[in-house]
Amino acid sequence: MASEQDGKFPDILHMKIQVEFHSRTSNINPHVRSQSFHPSSSQPLKDRDSLETQKQRKNTVATGDVQLQRLSDYPHRSLQALSRRYGPLMMLHFGSAPVLVVSSADCARDILKTHDLIFSDRPNAKVERVAREFDQFLDEVVEEHRRKMEEKSIGGGGEDRRDFVDVLLDIEKDKTVGFAFGADSIKALVLDIFSAGTDTTYTVLEWVMTELLRHPCAMNILQTEVRKIANGKPNITHADLEKMHYLRAVLKETLRLHPPIPLLVPRLSTRDVKIQGYNIAAGTMVITNAWTIGRDPSTWDEPDKFKPERFLNSSVDFKGQDFELIPFGAGRRGCPGTSFAMATNELVLANLVNKFDWALPEGLKAEDLDMTECTGLTIHRKVHLLAVATPFPS
């Protein structure tokens, strides 16, 4: 096993591993140099197994290779496997870029709360060209809406359907928001909603319906709660939602098991800092594995099971204060759309289960439902969910 002290990390036992892998899905540098270390240097060396050690053992060579080979398929899962072996803080090198992988609530708190300011930058993904194209497109959208508004105020004609951009243009006109609100603010808000808000929000709905169809007992409890509070009303209001505790627990449990962005959005350290006793250099990219944290057996009882009840008598929430549940990240770069996303999810889910009874297509058993995830930044189902809806009351 190669084990050495590295000048950059003077106070930790530092294992350096050279692993070759051949990615099936990308052409990135096939040589990944992976450096990983453990917070506790008192841990016996043999327990701090390395991929190098595995290579020396028959039958285990493949383990290390497979994990890294699959990094590009399901990185949150591969990184979970690595963190189980190497600990909650791992330093990997993707080519020449150092990447710190965070896989425990305690370490996430250190990054996203204690040293929030230092880790509040994002890696520059060189998106200038795309940004310019988006900007032009959004200019046209705003102009088109202005033109239609003008035509309507002169001629009184035109369509009556108003959308989100019309509402933002009204706010611009009113000048009542108390801060400069012009075309740039409108474009930024439209961009945020569409780029960060749509895919993620619908992903939660897809997973929550999947879990409810796999767990008819939970569906039953939820429908009983929602229908009792809705009490025959055609539309559920926000005041009703506040009383729906099981509904909220179901959504929390779904976000725990299926955070739409399992590795959150990368951060970049702006200066040298010490995390859990380790020196982390400025310019290190940080990936937080919220998916692994949500399934940590030291926090969660039966972590892989869907059990909304675990949240009924618990104050744990997803708002960025409880680091064992961070689907929206935390701190100053945490998701600003959390409330909007959850209000949407609660309202849509409550209406779906209030107005319909749900079943899997005939012949498909709950345990046979395909749970394969697709790949990408946002993780949704690979195969679309098919369900049979029967209006209620029928």
By the criterion CB under 6 A, which residues form the site for ligand HEM? 192-193, 196-197, 200-201, 204, 260-261, 264-265, 327-330, 333-337, 340-341
326, 116 Cβ separation under 8 angstroms: no
Min. distance of Cβ 184 from ligand HEM in angstroms? 15
User: Cα dihedral sign for 263, 267, 269, 274?
Assistant: negative
Give the C-alpha separation, 366 to 359, whole Å.
9
Min. distance of Cβ 39 from ligand HEM in angstroms? 22
What is the b/e burial string over 121-143, where b = at least 16 CB atoms within 10 angstroms of the residue's CB? Answer: beeeeeeeeeeeebeeebeeebe
Min. distance of Cβ 259 from ligand HEM in angstroms? 6
Min. distance of Cβ 206 from ligand HEM in angstroms? 11
* Nearer of residues 2 and 343 to ligand HEM, judged by Cβ: 343
| 185-190 contacts, C-beta under 8 A, 24 or more apart | 186/142, 187/135, 187/138, 187/139, 187/142, 190/138, 190/141, 190/142, 190/164, 190/165
Residue nearest to ligand HEM (CB): 329
Min. distance of Cβ 52 from ligand HEM in angstroms? 33
* Nearer of residues 38 and 267 to ligand HEM, judged by Cβ: 267
Min. distance of Cβ 377 from ligand HEM in angstroms? 10
* Nearer of residues 67 and 289 to ligand HEM, judged by Cβ: 289
Q: Which of 250, 253, 258, 244 is nearest to 218 (CA)?
A: 250
Min. distance of Cβ 76 from ligand HEM in angstroms? 12
- Distance between alpha carbon 331 and the CA centroid of its chain, in Å? 15
* Nearer of residues 17 and 261 to ligand HEM, judged by Cβ: 261
AA identity, residue 225: E
* Nearer of residues 74 and 328 to ligand HEM, judged by Cβ: 328
- E strand intervals along 169-309: 267-268, 273-275, 278-280, 285-288
* Nearer of residues 86 and 328 to ligand HEM, judged by Cβ: 328
325, 294 Cβ separation under 8 angstroms: yes
* Nearer of residues 63 and 378 to ligand HEM, judged by Cβ: 378
For the chain, the first-to-last Cα distance in angstroms comes to 67
